[in-house]
């Protein structure tokens, strides 16, 4: 193998740049040429290529976002689109590809590997941490710290005004970010898609807290909680707003709602994310050199490992319910 490509795809996450840096510098260390592919799979289909050297990735380990830019592409979901992408790889002489992204990007990577017998390795990067076969994905730790920072600030003003705050975090299908940030941030209640809840229990807990002198409450809500709370997204009302309304109506407590939104995806990556990205990015290149294809890298008990993407995509990453119950007990 002489030349490899690297791209970032799907939702961005802090630490993607550190992963790109690790891929580029490991490849150069092993005397490979590296091509950066801009705009994810869309850029791959269009041949949006950028030759990279050591200095192309200088001064980026601490930057959020991705210097290669990310994108979503419907065309790549079609066989025609993927044929186009494969042709561009052939034309450019790229013999292996590292895809840094989430589970959607991995689905695309798996198809490219299977349909064209092309060496592709996936590096898990998503703040959702919902990719199986890895304890952590790149960006999760930074996003948790962002949420905690937000909670700390909200708590200050919540206390001053004796208010209840409903804080919506990202997580359409997975509650890992919400749960772990809620535990670390001392949220009074944590509502996530994986765990059914009764809004009356949440309200009882809230009333109980105020009765024993609490000055504020923070209720952390993942954006993808149960459909009972689905309201009209067209008028920009999220489930968090619906919950806020119910709480205010049923308790009379002054309640405010905050949607943290995309700020959770930004920021300088934490030390843990930079280290994870460096280790996983380097391993991806080593796997390509070893002739592997259709694999993802992951970290399990602090060991970097490789798994078939197909196997990984058929697993479901389970939430640790003990942590959910612990967060509840510690916030009583």
Residue 75 and residue 322: Cα distance in Å, rounded? Answer: 42
For ligand ADP, the closer of residues 126 and 264 by Cβ is 126
Given the residues 12, 48, 128, 141, the one annotated as active site? 128
Measured CA to CA, the distance from residue 87 to residue 258 in angstroms comes to 46
Q: Nearest approach, Cβ of 101 to ligand ADP (angstroms)?
A: 4
Q: Which is nearer to ligand ADP, 19 or 187 (CB)?
A: 19
C-alpha span between 188 and 177 (Å, rounded): 16
- Smallest gap from Cβ 125 to ligand ADP, in A, equals 8
> Shortest approach of ligand ADP to residue 183 CB, angstroms?
24
**Backbone Cα Rg of the chain:** 22
**How far apart (Å, rounded) are the C-alpha atoms in residues 298 and 279?**
9
254-280 core/surface letters (b: 16 or more CB in 10 A; e: else)? ebebbbbeeebbbbebbebbbebbbbb
Shorter beta-carbon distance to ligand ADP: residue 96 or 101: 101
- Residue with the CB atom nearest ligand ADP in the bound state: 104
Least Cβ distance, residue 152 to ligand ADP (angstroms): 28
Residue 269 DSSP symbol: P
E strand or H helix at 259:
strand 255-259
Residue 87 parent element (H or E) = helix 79-92
Task: Tell whether the torsion through CA atoms of 86, 91, 96 and 100 is positive or negative.
Answer: negative
Q: Which is nearer to ligand ADP, 11 or 267 (CB)?
A: 11
Listed residue (312, 327, 10, 314) closest to 134, CA to CA: 312
List of residues contacting ligand ADP (CB under 6 A): 9-11, 41, 72-73, 76-77, 101-105, 107-108, 111, 126
- Between 100 and 202, CB nearer to ligand ADP: 100
Question: Which tokens sit at 129?
Answer: 């941490």
Minimal distance, residue 76 CB to ligand ADP, in Å = 4
Alpha-carbon distance of 19 to 99, in angstroms, equals 10
Whether the Cβ atoms of residue 138 and residue 279 lie closer than 8 Å to each other: no
Q: Is 128 a catalytic residue?
A: yes
Binding residues for substrate: 126-128, 163, 170-172, 223, 256, 262-265
Q: Is residue 153 within 8 Å of 258, Cβ to Cβ?
A: no
Active site residues: 128
């Amino acid at each position: 193998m002489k030349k490899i490509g690297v791209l970032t795809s799907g939702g961005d996450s802090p630490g993607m740049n550190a992963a790109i840096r690790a891929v580029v510098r490991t490849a150069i260390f092993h005397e490979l040429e590296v091509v950066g592919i801009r705009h994810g799979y869309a850029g791959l289909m269009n041949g949006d290529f950028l030759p990279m050297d050591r200095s192309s990735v200088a001064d980026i380990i601490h930057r959020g976002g991705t210097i290669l830019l990310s994108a979503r592409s419907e065309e790549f979901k079609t066989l025609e689109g993927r044929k186009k992408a494969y042709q561009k790889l052939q034309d450019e002489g790229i013999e292996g590809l590292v895809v840094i992204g989430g589970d959607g990007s991995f689905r695309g990577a798996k198809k490219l590997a299977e349909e064209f017998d092309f060496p592709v390795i996936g590096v898990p990067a998503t703040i959702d941490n919902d990719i199986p076969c890895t304890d952590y994905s790149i960006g999760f730790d930074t996003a948790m710290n962002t949420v905690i920072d937000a909670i700390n600030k909200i708590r200050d003003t919540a206390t001053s005004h004796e208010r209840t705050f409903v804080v919506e975090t990202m997580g359409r299908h997975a509650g890992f970010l919400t749960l772990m940030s809620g535990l670390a941030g001392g949220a009074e209640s944590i509502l996530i898609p994986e765990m059914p809840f009764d809004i009356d229990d949440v309200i009882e807990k809230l009333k109980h807290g105020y009765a024993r002198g609490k000055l504020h409450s923070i209720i952390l809500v993942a954006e993808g909680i149960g459909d009972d709370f689905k309201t009209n997204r067209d008028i920009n009302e999220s489930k968090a707003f619906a919950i806020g309304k119910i709480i205010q109506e049923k308790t009379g407590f002054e309640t405010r709602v905050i949607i943290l939104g995309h700020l959770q995806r930004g920021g300088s990556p934490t030390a843990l994310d930079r280290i994870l990205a460096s280790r996983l990015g380097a391993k991806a290149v080593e796997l390509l050199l070893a002739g592997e294809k259709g694999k993802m890298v992951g970290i399990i008990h602090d060991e970097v490992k490789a798994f078939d993407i197909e196997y990984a995509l058929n697993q479901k990453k389970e939430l640790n319910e003990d942590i959910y119950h612990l967060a509840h007990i510690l916030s009583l």
